[in-house]
Amino acid sequence: MAKASRNPAADTGVVKLKDVALLAGCSVATASRVLNGHPTVGPAEKQRVLAAAIQLGYVPNNSARALRSQNTSLVGVIIPTLDHAIYAKMVSGLQERLAQHGKSVIISTSDYDLEQERIQTRLLVGRGVESIVLVGLEHHPDTLEYLRRAGVAPVFTYTCELGLGAVAVGLDNRLAGATVAGFLLELGHKRFGMVAGVTRGNDRATQRRDGFLARLGEAGVPASDIVVLEAPYKIDGGAAAMRSLMQTHPRPTAIFCGSDILAVGAIKYCHVAGIAVPGEVSVVGFDNLEIAELVTPELTTLNVPAREMGEAAADALIRLGEKKETSIATELPTRLIVRDSTGPAGSASRK
């Protein structure tokens, strides 16, 4: 039969629990208990097992552990894109915080497509993720239904509206939109434009727009003095939308962009078109990315604490796993960062 070698690192080179137990002079059961922090183990054994594990550089096989204990310590996250820092930062915070709890994150992207998200969700569930982090509250019905049936709890981010028994970590997008409107109103602006991103399948974009419009409406601004455009979340998209906006008559004097990417594109267009910012038109962004401080003029924008949101999502996940709570809504504070891209209406100091 020649089963041959049975010592560590001779077959596959991978140290197994058995090897640790062998070196520690105990059974695999005891070794397992020690490594899992089970309380009922004598201190002497415990010491030896720990020492052996370190000496051998033991790394548990997660597939086996998962199979046996129905516990993969894997978390899935689906974001629209990694190309935008706002999502990358969130994932970064999520991953780091989760790593501290021994959990790993599997990442995938949907490109703002709910159908893509649905497919990714099934894949992730098949991989045995314990939980899944989603962006926004609006999803394909199948996505949510599938998650429910599979017993995988979703965590919604960038929003803090709460479904029943759900977990959400984010911001009040409506309020944020309204805040921007209020700020622009105070500066005396009367005609407004908005570059809203793509609102289809994107409740965050929708709410920002609605909050903005609602506040404007309350202030008595007629709908005819507000132009809303949609544009893909690209610099060029923002530039193109701004061009359209600047060609309407009468021209708006204040533009709210649904993201800094769009706002930066808008400002870029103004540069080439020779339109003074904020002299002729004020521009407000959303997200407070690093670029907001790098463009000229520096961008007035709403701060979104993306990294903190990822960390908060991780925390919620952990608490959820501990069955401490079943329904958690965390609202992260946002605040307007006033820089140089906004000014009082009618200050048109022609360049």
Residues at the interface with a second copy (CB under 8 A): 9, 12-14, 57, 59-64, 66-67, 72, 74, 81-83, 85, 88-89, 91-92, 95-96, 99, 104-109, 120, 122-128, 146, 148-151, 235, 264, 268, 290-291, 293-296
Distance between CA atoms of residues 230 and 249, nearest Å: 18
89 binds, among a second copy, DNA, none (CB under 5 to 8 A by kind): a second copy
348 binds, among DNA, a second copy, none (CB under 5 to 8 A by kind): none
CB of 24 to DNA, least distance (A): 9
In the bound state with a second copy, the residue whose beta carbon lies nearer, of 15 and 332, is 15
122 binds, among DNA, a second copy, none (CB under 5 to 8 A by kind): a second copy
54 backbone dihedrals φ, ψ, rounded to 5° = -70, -45
Edge-first strand listing for the sheet containing 226-229? 226-229, 192-195, 254-257, 282-284
44 binds, among DNA, a second copy, none (CB under 5 to 8 A by kind): DNA
CB of 42 to DNA, least distance (A): 3
45 binds, among a second copy, DNA, none (CB under 5 to 8 A by kind): DNA
273 binds, among DNA, a second copy, none (CB under 5 to 8 A by kind): none
96 binds, among a second copy, DNA, none (CB under 5 to 8 A by kind): a second copy
In the bound state with a second copy, the residue whose beta carbon lies nearer, of 185 and 231, is 231
Residues near DNA (CB under 7 A): 12, 14, 16-18, 26-30, 32-33, 35-36, 40-42, 44-46, 60-61, 64-65, 67-69, 71
In the bound state with a second copy, the residue whose beta carbon lies nearer, of 74 and 317, is 74
SS3 149: helix
Judge whether 32 and 17 are in contact, CB under 8 Å: yes
Residue 209 neighbours by CB distance under 10 Å: 23
CB of 294 to a second copy, least distance (A): 5
Judge whether 138 and 80 are in contact, CB under 8 Å: no
In the bound state with DNA, the residue whose beta carbon lies nearer, of 47 and 296, is 47
- Show Cβ contacts of residue 152 under 8 Å, excluding neighbours closer than 6 positions: 125, 129, 130, 131, 132
In the bound state with a second copy, the residue whose beta carbon lies nearer, of 47 and 296, is 296
CB of 18 to DNA, least distance (A): 6
Q: Can you tell me which residue has the tokens 């103004």?
A: 270
Distance between CA atoms of residues 189 and 197, nearest Å: 22
Judge whether 146 and 121 are in contact, CB under 8 Å: yes
**Structure token digits, residue 343:** 């000014």
In the bound state with a second copy, the residue whose beta carbon lies nearer, of 38 and 127, is 127
In the bound state with a second copy, the residue whose beta carbon lies nearer, of 51 and 82, is 82
C-alpha distance from residue 245 to each of 213, 241, 249 (Å): 16, 6, 9
47 binds, among DNA, a second copy, none (CB under 5 to 8 A by kind): none
DSSP state of 300: B
> Helices in the chain by DSSP H: which ranges?
17-24, 28-35, 43-56, 62-69, 85-99, 114-126, 141-150, 173-186, 203-218, 235-246, 260-273, 306-321
CB of 19 to a second copy, least distance (A): 13
Alpha carbon 9 to chain centroid, angstroms: 41
In the bound state with a second copy, the residue whose beta carbon lies nearer, of 177 and 197, is 197
